[in-house]
Structure 1
Amino acid sequence: SILRLYLDMEQGDLFLALGRYNGSRGRLEYPNAVLGAWRNWQYQE
Structure 2
Amino acid sequence: MTNVFGEFFGTLFLISFGCGVNANLTLEKSYAKEADWICTTKNLV
Q: Same fold (TM over 0.5)?
A: no
Q: Under a length normalisation based on structure 2, what TM-score does the superposition of the two structures give?
A: 0.35
TM-score (norm 1): 0.35
